[in-house]
Structure 1
Amino acid sequence: MVYEKYHVCFGGDEETRKSNYSDMVNKYYDLATSFYEYGWGESFHFAHRWKGESLRESIKRHEHFLALQLGLKRGMKVLDVGCGIGGPLREIARFR
């Protein structure tokens, strides 16, 4: 299904939109996530940069710092209640 079919101005109708809302929402977030990852990578965050350090290195360093501050240990369960795509938590998991 194409996202546009859910909008009246593109030939869709309200009944189709209502009956397939979960498909429409999933397609929207798949599309939005692709744009976000293209523009910002796996993280929408920023961290202070040290001289000569890349943006990605600064973010990775800060995520490692957070893992240490939280005292995370192997086997612990962590819930990521964010509104991103999980990049920071994946890096924290790799680090710990």
Structure 2
Amino acid sequence: MPLRRLKDMYLLQDGVRFLMVDDEGSTLICRVSHEALRDQADRLHFVATDDAIFEEYRELIEDIASEAFDAGGPLDHQGRILVTSEAMARATRSA
């Protein structure tokens, strides 16, 4: 079941935390790690802050979060859907 963006707002803390919603209306907290953002920027020679990297690749990050939700993870230590550096690298290579 694909997720979609709940709000445009997000929180910068150990990467970026953002909200998505499933088809049933349940809110899910997602997180892309600081390392995943930095690695993505390095791969594409993009120099920016975490929030600028997130904004630039937000659609990709949200797609990966939706895929992680459908697959049952990965989750971080607090149960949030986690977008990893590895998942971003795979998605970037296949794009």
Which band: TM-score by shorter chain?
Answer: under 0.3
| Higher RCO (CA-CA < 8 Å; seq separation 6+) | 2
Alignment TM-score, normalising by the size of structure 2: 0.27
| Larger CA Rg, structure 1 vs 2 | 1
